Amino acid sequence: MCKKGKTTIVRVHLDSIEGLEEHAEYDLVVPTGVAKSVFGDSWEQFLKRNRLDGEQDRIYLEKVKKEADREKLLPEAEKLYTGWFVMEGLAPEIREEIMSRRGDDDVLTEWDMISFDEMNESCASCPLSWDKGRGCIGTFGPGNSLLPGIAEKYSCEIVASVPDAAEDGRRFSPDDAESLLEEVALLREKLPEEGKMMVRRYSGVLDRLEKMAEACRDHGARFYFI
């Protein structure tokens, strides 16, 4: 249910907005020294009625509560670019230019912008939310988990390959999910032979692997480890 939200980019940040200034977000600011000269002897009253800190180096107009005070400062305001772009409504060629200059972590999607309550509600009603309605991400364990070694002993190739798959970014298919279910069933059978400690430590991991694999098999979804 989150696919559309996660694949719809609504905001992009660029380190340099050169050539794209007219499309970039900005704040209107007035240097504090200039603002002081505008209000003169009434500077302290200005700060008090707008609940502002006079120690900052600039005054953001959006934080000035009184409209009359904003009007006085507006002629002295200058643009302070944030580096952010709102993608909605931009011409295709502008969007393409922005996207070509962004880094991997310089985007916000629709999913990033929703509240935790909205996120939880979506996950709770999603068929791929295999972790008891909490979402589609769960823990396998630390990198030094003994489970992959145990799995290798019993020729359970997918579970045995988890550390390597996490490192190289391998994506598993819905068919792999079917195979993983077979591995989970075998490991449940064999784990007691590894001792009670291994049963206590890894039974929960097998439960999570099973739920995840069932969801991927039933809905044709891929899975991966990180």
Domain contains 187? yes
For residue 45, give the amino acid letter: Q
Gap between the Cα atoms of 152 and 186, Å rounded: 12
- Does the pLDDT of residue 134 top 90, yes or no? no
Domain contains 150? yes
Q: Are residues 41 and 72 in the same domain?
A: yes
Q: Are residues 101 and 167 in the same domain?
A: no
Q: Are residues 60 and 96 in the same domain?
A: no
Q: Are residues 142 and 215 in the same domain?
A: yes
- pLDDT tens, position by position, 12-65: 999 999 999 999 999 999 999 999 999 999 999 999 999 998 889 999 999 999
Q: Are residues 31 and 64 in the same domain?
A: yes
- pLDDT tens, position by position, 91-129: 999 999 999 999 888 999 999 999 999 999 999 999 899
Helix (H, G, I), strand (E, B), or coil: what is residue 106?
Answer: coil
pLDDT value for 206: 97
Question: For the CA atoms of 11, 17, 20, 25, what is the dihedral angle to 10 degrees?
Answer: 50
- Alpha carbon separation from 38 to 29, 54, 58, 60 (Å, rounded): 14, 14, 13, 15
Q: Are residues 98 and 192 in the same domain?
A: no
DSSP letter for 172, please: B
Domain contains 132? no
Domain contains 130? no
Q: What percent of the chain clears pLDDT 90, i.e. is strictly above it? A: 90
pLDDT band at 132; cut points 50, 70, 90: confident
How close are the terminal C-alpha atoms of the chain, in Å? 21
From 81, 103, 122, the end of a domain falls on 81
pLDDT value for 105: 86
Q: Are residues 214 and 171 in the same domain?
A: yes
Tell me which residue range forms the domain holding 47: 26-81
**E strand or H helix that includes residue 12:** strand 9-13
Q: Are residues 71 and 142 in the same domain?
A: no
Domain contains 123? no
Q: Are residues 92 and 52 in the same domain?
A: no
Long-range pairs for 173-176: beta carbons < 8 A, 24 or more residues apart: 173/222, 174/216, 174/217, 174/220, 174/221, 174/222, 176/223
Domain contains 156? yes
Q: Is the dihedral of CA 172, 8, 97, 29 positive or negative?
A: negative
Phi then psi for residue 108, to 5 deg, are -125, 130
Domain contains 172? yes
Name the pTM for this structure. Answer: 0.71
Number of residues that this document lists for the chain: 226
Please state the domain count of the chain: 3
Q: Are residues 10 and 99 in the same domain?
A: yes
Q: Are residues 177 and 196 in the same domain?
A: yes
Tokens of 141: 């364990």
Q: Are residues 49 and 144 in the same domain?
A: no
Mean pLDDT of all residues belonging to the chain? 95
Domain contains 184? yes
- pLDDT tens, position by position, 196-213: 999 999 999 999 999 999
- Does the pLDDT of residue 220 top 90, yes or no? yes
